Amino acid sequence: MTTRRKFLGHSATILGSIAFGMPRLARAQSGAAKKLILVTCNGGWDVSFHLDPKPSGLSTVDVPTGSLVTSGNLNYFNADACNNVVDNFFAAHNDVASIVRGISVRSISHDTCIRRMMTGSSSDTAPDIGVVTGHAHGSDLAAPYLTLGSVSFPGNLEGSSVRVGLTNQLALAHQYTTLSPDFADVFPNGTEQNLINAYLDNEAALLGASKGQYGKNQSKVQDYRDSVQRAQGLADNADALGQPFGISFTVAQQIENALAMLERNVAWSVTVSTGFVWDHHDPGAAPTGTYDGAQGLRNQDLWPALSYLADQLKTRDGSTAGSKMIDETVVVVMSEMTRTPLKNMQGGKDHWPHTSALVFGGGVNAGHAFGSTDNSLVSQPIDFASGSADTGGLILESSSFVAGLMQLVGVDPGAHLPLTPVFTAMIS
């Protein structure tokens, strides 16, 4: 609910930005359409192990053992516990990758923070960057936005969203007759399925004519009719969905499926997830029994998968002659928050309302580290055009980061995050 105080405060912010100058607000200045892969590291990773390096010996941050690496305009941390996997990624792919650090999420709640990082908003109806991109550029595909992982926020664009399920139930639905031949007789054959589809479409048309002529009813009826058509596209590409019954997809398996779905033009944007494995308050409950070891183990799962993804995008052909998938795809790797600078009494780390992200692919201003935090891992003001620290600049809020991603993938951010300053430094 907007109170009088919130309204006046928001108005003052807008008037102040006009008077003193701000980064441009979200408006129609989007670039070429790009496909999108979102990788979410749920639970809150520790950015001091990779994307936001701090010098050793600080009293304000428990820095892991390792080394700070500088390569041109990009720097990162190579923690010993990560066994060089971060260093291997940047050594091979800093030509297409950049770091964005010091993103403020203004909360320490997992659900609130991941919503803000993916949608740029705290609203329950706000769609995330994945579905916004899929809806804008791939609405005619079988799965404009495909969720392979555990987290997505389709919001008011749910008609463009497809979820496989935590145990890949979508694949199971398309393999029932193969896995259980005895069930074949209870599934429709081709002729029967066509009759069913015709009936469903006719019912939708009648519903649209009687109750769905205007507003939300109209859009919901159209979403339903589109879903009937998209089901066939998914059935035709069921082999790319992988296998059902897994307790959960590994991030490597999800990435393989994501590549197949994008390459076949079944999906335009895809979300994959590492699972809720980064939340290490008590190292006694962590896989290795130590906080640094647990974070290192998680990174050893994540970064080789990211290296494989970048390798494949650079190798596989794009949609136009002479192009590669990397030229027309953006990958965003994020976590909803980071960990507290100092360890708690148990030797673990708690929630901290700032985070960093890795962005790589087509249109990325590569080879840079943008944004800034102080020696307590608190976001600092920056210039949104250059990404450099600037005492006269702004804190990089998650809304501005998401607005920048929208512009990067060719979507007008003003249509979804109006009056939001756009972070453009990461765009080439």
What is the tens place of the pLDDT at every residue in 355-393?
Answer: 999 999 999 999 999 999 999 999 999 999 999 999 999
| Same domain assignment for residues 327 and 215 | no
| Same domain assignment for residues 87 and 109 | yes
From 246, 264, 284, give the residue that closes a domain.
246
Of 46-50, 197-201, 361-365, where does mean pLDDT reach its minimum?
A: 197-201
List the structure tokens of 382: 């920056």
Task: Report yes or no on 177 lying in a domain.
Answer: no
Task: Place 20 in a pLDDT band, splitting at 50, 70 and 90.
Answer: very low
Task: Report yes or no on 149 lying in a domain.
Answer: yes
| Same domain assignment for residues 199 and 313 | no
| Same domain assignment for residues 119 and 238 | no
| Same domain assignment for residues 302 and 408 | yes
Read off the CATH number of the domain in which 51 is found: 3.40.720.10
List the structure tokens of 43: 């639970």
From 210, 228, 246, give the residue that closes a domain.
246
List the structure tokens of 45: 């990773």
Task: Report yes or no on 141 lying in a domain.
Answer: yes
Q: Say how many domains are in the chain.
A: 2
List the structure tokens of 218: 């109209």
Instruction: Encode 185-221 in three state secondary structure.
Output: HHCCCHHHHHHHHHHHHHHHHHHHHHCCCCHHHHHHH
Instruction: Give 40's strand partners.
Output: 273, 334
Per-residue burial over 165-178, b if 16 or more Cβ lie within 10 Å, else e, is eeebebbbbbbeee
Domain that holds residue 365: 21-166+248-415
Whole-angstrom Cα distance, residue 426 to residue 98? 7
| Same domain assignment for residues 205 and 280 | no
Query: Would you say 228 and 208 are in contact if contact means Cβ atoms under 8 Å apart?
Result: no
Task: Report yes or no on 11 lying in a domain.
Answer: no
Task: Report yes or no on 290 lying in a domain.
Answer: yes
> Between residues 159 and 349, which one has the greater pLDDT?
349
| Same domain assignment for residues 362 and 312 | yes
> Between residues 207 and 362, which one has the greater pLDDT?
362
Average pLDDT over residues 240-257: 76
Is 321's pLDDT higher than 80? yes
Instruction: Give 394's strand partners.
Output: 382
From 226, 246, 266, give the residue that closes a domain.
246
| Same domain assignment for residues 242 and 281 | no
| Same domain assignment for residues 240 and 154 | no
| Same domain assignment for residues 263 and 349 | yes
| Same domain assignment for residues 293 and 398 | yes
| Same domain assignment for residues 74 and 146 | yes
Task: Report yes or no on 99 lying in a domain.
Answer: yes
> Between residues 222 and 157, which one has the greater pLDDT?
157
Task: Report yes or no on 172 lying in a domain.
Answer: no
Strands 354-361 and 329-334: antiparallel
Task: Report yes or no on 224 lying in a domain.
Answer: yes
